[in-house]
Structure 1
Amino acid sequence: MDPLAGVQTFARQLLESFGFDPQGILCCGNTETALAQGLEFKPDFLITDWFGKSPLTGLALHQRLLEVKPTCRLSLLSFEVTPDHEAQAKQAGARFLLKKPFTAEDLRRTLHQALQVMAKDYPELHQRLQSVMMAPRPQPAIAPRPIVLPPMVQYKPGDKVRFGDKTEVVECVVVRHGELVVQLKNKSGLIPATKLQKQ
C-alpha cells in the first residue's frame, strides 16, 4: 500500500512475477481504504508506506489487521528512516523497512529476501521462489514487451467530478487489480475512474 500509483503498480507486477495470484493482491492509496478492505480481505502480508502523518499510520493499520489475521506479516516503506523508526519497525515484527526513494532492483531484492524467510514456514512458497528466482532462464531471442498500463486520469481527494448527471467530490483513490477506482463522498462502493469526468 502506497500513495504513489507507480509504486503500487510495480509492487503488483513484482508479486505476480514471484508467482502470486493477481486476485490475491490488493493495492490501496491510503490507510483508511486499506483498513476497510483489509478487514474483509484478511491479508497474509502487508507492504505499506509508514504514513507517519496519517491519523491511521502504517503500523496502526497492521495492528488493526492483526485482529482479523493474527499471522499477517508486515513490511514498511518510508522516506524517513531514523533509529526510532527502526526500533518501532523491529518491535512490530516488520520483515523490512526500506528507505525511499528506492530503485526497482532494491525493492525486488528486499522483497525476495523477506519472502525467502517466510518460505521456511511455507514449503510451497519456497518452491515457487526457487523456480522463479533461482532457476536459470534462457534469454529470449526478442526482448519481451514491458507491461504498460493504459493512461489513467489522476484524481486526488477533494477533486470535483461528474458522475452521471451530478457533481460529486472524490473521497479516496485506489488502484485495484491495475484499475483506478474512486470512492465518492457520501457514496458507498468504488467506482471505476473511466465512469467519471473531471470538473
Structure 2
Amino acid sequence: MRDPLKFLVVDPLAGVQAFARQLLQGHGFAADRILCCADSDTALAQGLVFKPQFLITDWFAKAPLTGLQLFQRLREVQPALQLSLLSFDVTPERQLEAEAHGAHFLLKKPFTAEQLKAEVSRSLDALARSAPGLHSQVRDVVRSARPTPRAQLPVMPPLPLIKPGDKVHFNGAVHVAQYVVHRSGETVVQLKGQNSFVPLEKLQPA
C-alpha cells in the first residue's frame, strides 16, 4: 500500500486517544501512521511536521486554538485534510458549523466504543468512495480490516494532568512543559530546552 493515510487524534482524555489508536490499528493502519496529542497547540506543532490526512479532534471550545482553527491551520500544509469532531456540547449551531467545515461527524461525549467505531468506519468507507484517486488504499484497508473486540473505552491509570506551559518537577529540578504527546500507548512530554521526550509518569506538577 503506497502512501498510507496518516491520522492525527487530538483529545484531552488519554482513554479516547488510546481507543482511537486501537480502533485505527484494527482497521489495518500502522502505529507509526497514527499520532495522538492531548491539546490543540501541541497538535499544531506536531501536525505541521507529521502532515496527517485525517484529523479527529475535540472541539476545544475554550482553548486559544479551537479544533476548527487547528483544522484550518493544518489544511494550509495538507489541503485535502479530512475532519471529524468530538464534543461534550453538541448544539444545532455546532452541528451546522461542523458540516460547513466538511466534517465527517460530530460525536457527542461521552460516547461508547461502538459509537466511535461506527462513525470512524463509516467515514473511512465514505472517503474510499468519494476520493478514490487521493486515498485509493482506504477501500482495501477497510475491507481487509480485522474486527475490533467489543469493548468500552479503556480505563487509563490516573496520571498527573500536565499541559504545555505548566511547570513540572523532573530529576530534582523545575522545568516547563513544551509539548504533550500521546503515542504508541503512552503519554510523553517534551520539556523546554530538551530534545528528548519524558514519560508523563516521571513528572510531577511543580
TM-score (norm 1): 0.84
Structure 2, unmatched stretches of 5+, are 1-9
CA offset digits 1:60-106 (Å, max 9, x no partner): 00000010000010000011111110111011010111111100000
Give the direction of change, closer, same or farther, for the CA distance of 1:152–1:116 in structure 2 (3 Å limit). same
- Aligned mate of 1:170, from 165, 177, 194: 177
Map of 2:26 onto structure 1: 17
Structure 1 residues 167-176 or 55-64, which shifts more? 167-176
Q: For 1:151-162, list aligned pairs within 5 A.
A: 153-157=159-163, 160-162=167-169
Overall identity of the aligned pairs, in % = 49
Contact 2:15–2:156 under 8 Å retained in 1: no
- Aligned mate of 1:183, from 190, 196, 200: 190
Shift of 1:116: 0.3
Structure 1 residues 172-181 or 29-38, which shifts more? 172-181
Q: For 1:128-147, list aligned pairs within 5 A.
A: 128-132=141-145
- Mapped to 2, the partners of 1:194 and 1:49 lie a distance apart of 21
Q: For 1:103-114, list aligned pairs within 5 A.
A: 103-114=112-123
Aligned-residue CA RMSD (Å): 2.8
Map of 2:7 onto structure 1: none
| Alignment-mate amino acid for residue 13 of structure 2 | L
Contact 1:27–1:175 under 8 Å retained in 2: yes
Contact 1:155–1:170 under 8 Å retained in 2: no
Structure 1, unmatched stretches of 5+, are 135-142
Shift of 1:149: 9.6
Shift of 1:127: 1.7
Give secondary structure in 2 for the equivalent of 1:175: strand
Give the direction of change, closer, same or farther, for the CA distance of 1:105–1:48 in structure 2 (3 Å limit). same
Give secondary structure in 2 for the equivalent of 1:94: coil
- Mapped to 1, the partners of 2:106 and 2:82 lie a distance apart of 13
Give secondary structure in 2 for the equivalent of 1:10: helix
Give the direction of change, closer, same or farther, for the CA distance of 1:104–1:172 in structure 2 (3 Å limit). same
Give the direction of change, closer, same or farther, for the CA distance of 1:197–1:191 in structure 2 (3 Å limit). same
| Alignment-mate amino acid for residue 154 of structure 1 | P
Contact 1:49–1:76 under 8 Å retained in 2: yes
Map of 1:29 onto structure 2: 38
Q: How many residues get paired?
A: 189
Give secondary structure in 2 for the equivalent of 1:173: strand
Contact 2:41–2:65 under 8 Å retained in 1: yes
Give the direction of change, closer, same or farther, for the CA distance of 1:115–1:55 in structure 2 (3 Å limit). same
Map of 1:140 onto structure 2: none
- Mapped to 2, the partners of 1:75 and 1:195 lie a distance apart of 30
| Alignment-mate amino acid for residue 112 of structure 1 | S
- Mapped to 1, the partners of 2:156 and 2:89 lie a distance apart of 32
- Mapped to 2, the partners of 1:194 and 1:2 lie a distance apart of 16
| Alignment-mate amino acid for residue 17 of structure 2 | Q
Question: Of the two structures, which has the highest relative contact order with CA contacts closer than 8 Å and spacing of 6 or more?
Answer: 2
